């Protein structure tokens, strides 16, 4: 039987939250997100608003924001403080001009990144599986426990590729191939963005800091070709570091 609470001492290592404090009773538990997304790559909305965005200091304040300030995740209003916010999800507010995306930093920790609010209707989702439906339709099982149905089954969709969704409709495909720009969601280089040099079986060779290193293809999340479709890193700083290397 699953538990409704989450002790801070047992938090996923991707959560950049303190695990111990002088006041142990106050810091003993963290808000556990509801089921639906990978706990390793998601965080409850309560912790995102309090600890990452610094827009509230208590759970009571978070509930007030959700009740009166009209908070949206990927363009959909959310009222549950335990709603799971996964990587690359966009959080926006009715009364604020700024929008934020949950992403991974170079240390492999979940962090918030301010983005242009025009991106809240654009999503990049990794394909985890495929299902043939009636009427010659194909259902794509996507990262983050979401699905989308496409009518054109003749187009090549491969597990490991990513698709671009605009206004909740399929737009284009980002194949996992040589030259693709990926973010690593696991392994030793988790949180780094790199260009794919070569793929052999389930091993991925990427260029990182001027060196070619290898990791597993299951850790690769395609985010673009020459540059990311959505903002998941500080692109100007990332590009400058690549030019130096």
List, as one string, the DSSP characters of the chain. ---S-EEGGG--TT-------SSTTTTSEEPPPPTTS-GGGEEEHHHIIIIIS-S-SSHHHHHHHHHHS-EEETTEE---TTPEEETT-EEEETT-S-EEEEEE-TTS-EEEEEE-GGGGGEEEEEEEEEEEETTTEEEEEETTTEEEEES-TTS---BTBEEEEETTEEEEEE--STT-EEEE-SSTTTT-EEEEEEEETTEEEEEETTEEEEEEGGGEEEEESSSBSS--S-HHHHHHHHHH-
Report whether 89 contacts 120 (CB < 8 A). Answer: no
Q: What per-residue confidence (pLDDT) applies to 22? A: 55
A 10 A CB-CB count for 220 gives: 24
Q: HSE of 149 in the Cβ direction (CA atoms, 13 Å)?
A: 7
User: Are 11 and 99 part of one and the same domain?
Assistant: yes
Q: What per-residue confidence (pLDDT) applies to 235? A: 46
- Beta carbons within 8 Å of 211's beta carbon, 6+ residues apart: none
Q: Looking at residue 218, which CATH number applies to its domain?
A: 2.30.30
Q: What per-residue confidence (pLDDT) applies to 243? A: 44
Residue at 227 is within a domain: yes
The CA–CA distances, whole Å, from 33 to 24, 50, 64, 77, 198 equal 21, 14, 18, 17, 37
User: Are 59 and 146 part of one and the same domain?
Assistant: no
User: Are 158 and 185 part of one and the same domain?
Assistant: no
Q: What per-residue confidence (pLDDT) applies to 24? A: 57
User: Are 22 and 92 part of one and the same domain?
Assistant: yes
User: Are 234 and 202 part of one and the same domain?
Assistant: yes
- Beta carbons within 8 Å of 234's beta carbon, 6+ residues apart: 113
User: Are 197 and 98 part of one and the same domain?
Assistant: no
User: Are 19 and 89 part of one and the same domain?
Assistant: yes
- Beta carbons within 8 Å of 70's beta carbon, 6+ residues apart: 77, 93, 94, 95
Q: Looking at residue 138, which CATH number applies to its domain?
A: 2.40.50.740
User: Are 125 and 25 part of one and the same domain?
Assistant: no
- Beta carbons within 8 Å of 12's beta carbon, 6+ residues apart: 39, 40
User: Are 204 and 128 part of one and the same domain?
Assistant: no
Can you tell me which residue has the tokens 């949950």?
Answer: 102
Q: Looking at residue 37, which CATH number applies to its domain?
A: 3.10.290.10
Residue at 188 is within a domain: yes
Instruction: Give the structural domain span for 228.
Output: 181-244
Q: What per-residue confidence (pLDDT) applies to 238? A: 43
Q: What per-residue confidence (pLDDT) applies to 234? A: 57
Residue at 81 is within a domain: yes
Domain count, the chain: 3
| Per-residue pLDDT tens digits of the chain, which is 245 residues long | 467 778 888 888 898 888 776 565 567 788 888 888 888 999 999 999 998 998 888 889 999 988 887 889 988 899 999 999 999 999 998 777 888 999 999 888 999 999 888 888 889 999 999 888 887 788 899 998 888 888 766 668 889 999 999 888 888 899 999 999 999 999 999 999 889 999 998 899 998 888 899 999 999 999 998 788 888 875 444 444 554 44
User: Are 43 and 108 part of one and the same domain?
Assistant: yes
User: Are 131 and 190 part of one and the same domain?
Assistant: no
| pTM for this entry | 0.85
Q: What per-residue confidence (pLDDT) applies to 138? A: 86
Residue at 1 is within a domain: no
User: Are 95 and 160 part of one and the same domain?
Assistant: no
Q: What per-residue confidence (pLDDT) applies to 232? A: 82
Q: What per-residue confidence (pLDDT) applies to 245? A: 47
């Amino acid at each position: 039987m699953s538990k409704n609470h989450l002790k801070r001492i047992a938090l996923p290592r991707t959560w950049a939250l303190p695990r111990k404090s002088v006041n142990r009773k106050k810091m003993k538990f963290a808000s556990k997100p509801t089921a639906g997304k990978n706990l390793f790559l998601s965080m409850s909305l309560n912790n995102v608003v309090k600890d990452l965005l610094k827009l509230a200091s208590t759970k009571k304040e978070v509930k007030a924001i959700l009740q009166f300030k009209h908070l949206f995740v990927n363009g959909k209003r959310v009222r549950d403080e335990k709603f799971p916010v996964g990587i690359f999800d966009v959080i926006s507010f009715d009364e604020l001009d700024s929008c934020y995306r949950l992403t991974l930093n170079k240390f492999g920790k979940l962090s918030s990144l301010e983005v242009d609010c025009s991106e809240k209707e654009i999503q990049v989702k990794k394909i985890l599986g495929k299902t043939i439906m009636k009427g010659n339709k194909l259902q794509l099982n996507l990262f983050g426990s979401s699905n989308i149905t496409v009518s054109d089954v003749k187009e090549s969709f491969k597990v490991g590729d990513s698709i671009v969704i605009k206004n909740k409709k399929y737009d284009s495909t980002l194949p996992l191939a040589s030259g693709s720009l990926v973010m690593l969601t696991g392994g030793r280089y988790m949180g780094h963005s790199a260009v794919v040099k070569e793929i052999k079986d389930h091993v991925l060779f990427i260029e990182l800091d001027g060196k070619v290193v290898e990791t597993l293809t299951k850790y690769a999340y395609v985010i673009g070709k020459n540059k990311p479709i959505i903002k998941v890193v500080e692109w100007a700083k990332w590009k400058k570091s690549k030019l130096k290397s």
